Homo-oligomer: A and B are copies of this chain.
């Protein structure tokens, strides 16, 4: 059985421990505050029993899973023999530099050092570190044990084998990985969320819609399809001839929203260069009608699910 070190025992660290332990890894947790580490260990039970309640985990496995998670008395002990290190310390550049430097000194050469940071690209904290080729961001979405998406964000000098190792490890932990080809502030998840929020603040600030109604536009509208199908697959299925036809039909409409500078990207060019081909690889044009039927069946199943949740609460 392989071991993973989780450094930092806050909510994110605890959540990671639950993810790794469920995937049969031994988890060594460490926090500079021994008290925080003990608290974390105690809170694991609630986290795990919640998963059982919702049939996300077999009850018979809980004892075994909880046994796999231990608190290490030192950073050195935590990383000793670990196959991977998930650093989940505070979001401060100086502290990221300090802890990554220490981890690089303590851990064996080939061990990837991933950081849970949501806001600091790895090149900023690891550029002067000897083992910077094994450093990268491995960003979960809160709460990590419930949301499968994980962003893997390498620096320009991260070793390709390190990226592949971490990607395989995360997939092995039932994570859905988003592998960025280069660093960018905000990565993908927060940039998409930021773009939507910026428009939301604009509409609410201008008095065009209330926050309550805007929320309905997503929770009873856009968010339904997006819970099982991303935005690109969504538009690919929104025209009989796929994404190219969608952009041809509706691209002009989006241009005309008068969002100012912020309608500067050439959608047609991107579709022609690569996007249509990529989306058609998954859903060829001849399969779009079937995929639409499948989408509507998933929508109906989701509506039934939401109705059952409402009647239970």
Residues in A lying within 8 Å of B, measured CB to CB: 50-51, 53-56, 118-119, 141-143, 146-149, 151, 176-182, 184-186, 188-205, 207-233, 235, 238, 253-254, 256-267, 269-270, 273-275, 278-279, 282, 294, 296-307, 309, 313
Interface of A is mostly: helix
Give chain B residues whose Cβ lies under 8 Å from the Cβ of A230: 211, 214-219, 223
Some 14 contacts from A to B, beta carbons below 8 A apart, are A147-B221, A188-B208, A194-B259, A198-B262, A202-B265, A211-B232, A214-B231, A215-B229, A215-B231, A218-B226, A223-B225, A294-B313, A301-B309, A302-B305
Q: Which residues of B contact A184 (CB under 8 A)?
A: 203, 208
Q: Are B212 and A278 in contact (CB under 8 A)?
A: yes
Q: Are A141 and B221 in contact (CB under 8 A)?
A: yes
Contact A143 B226 (CB under 8 A): no
Residue ID in chain B nearest A309 by CB atoms: B301
| Distance of A246 Cα from B83 Cα, bound (Å) | 35
> CB-nearest residue of chain B relative to A198?
B265
A209–B188 alpha-carbon span in the complex (Å):
8
Specify how many copies of this chain sit in the oligomer.
2
How distant is A191 from chain B, measured CB to nearest CB, in Å? 6
Residues on the B chain within 8 Å of A196, using CB: 192, 195-196, 231
Q: Is the CB of B270 within 8 A of A205?
A: yes
Q: A185-B256, A226-B226, A302-B227 are in contact. Are A275 and B204 (CB under 8 A)?
A: yes
Q: How far is the CB of A143 from chain B (nearest CB, A)?
A: 6
Task: Name A296's contact: one of B143, B197, B298 (CB within 8 Å).
Answer: B143
| A186 shortest CB reach to chain B, Å | 4
Minimum CB–CB distance from A190 to chain B (whole Å) comes to: 7
Q: Is the CB of A146 within 8 A of B296?
A: yes
Given A188-B203, A210-B278, A220-B176, CB of A198 within 8 Å of CB of B254: yes
> Which 8 pairs, one residue from A and one from B, show the smallest C-beta to C-beta distance?
A215-B230, A149-B221, A223-B226, A262-B262, A261-B261, A227-B227, A195-B199, A54-B300
Given A185-B256, A223-B230, 4 more A-B residue pairs with CB atoms under 8 Å apart are: A177-B216, A189-B221, A197-B254, A215-B230
Q: Are A189 and B217 in contact (CB under 8 A)?
A: yes
Decide: B226 and A207 in contact? CB cutoff 8 A.
Answer: no
Partner of A194, one of B177, B186, B257, B294: B257
* Cα-based distance from A217 to B226 in the complex (angstroms): 10
Q: Are A266 and B215 in contact (CB under 8 A)?
A: no
